[in-house]
Structure 1
């Protein structure tokens, strides 16, 4: 019984942490202009989705690394995106559709690519 109680407590604490983090993120998003908000929420979603479904552990995502992302209405297409995982950068492409206020993602599709050689990081505006 103690094990079940401990597991429940850990789960509740983890949930509170995620909700608190999301609330802070949402407050930050509201302070951005709509175009920056679109790219930020899509980059954030890219990190969450990659973390949930691959062995990567992304801590950064950039929608316009090797080529500019293209925005139209509430959709962002980022064919030249990149994400960082364990101090290495990888190619990424994604399509992201949000609500009109650009606060929630409605649809997200992505594809990860190969590692980006460190000698190209400066060219793409990437960092260690």
Structure 2
């Protein structure tokens, strides 16, 4: 009778799987940190795994697509992760821009009223200088 040593094979396969996942995850982190382009091909090359294996890993596949889409949404070369704006800073910039737009609208309205008054005074003074004093 043979002894069942399959648990050794299972443990080795599990270890190989975890090592491969760690390499792929590290490749993603490095590309994101460095601002490198993120594609399945580039991640596969950097992690020394196959593209087809990457597609079988749902969480890694989602992260590659997320980073790729994030980079496609920005013009020019991708920024490294530490240089990207946070959601909070973007919201703050939006608040500042909205406040500035409100200030400019108020200032524009004040200038229009000043211009109306100035044009009215100029018209009145022109009418007074004409013979007969009528407009």
TM over 0.5: no
Q: Comparing both structures, which one devotes a greater share of its residues to helix?
A: 2
- Compute the TM-score of the two structures, normalised by the length of structure 1: 0.30
Q: Which has the larger radius of gyration?
A: 2
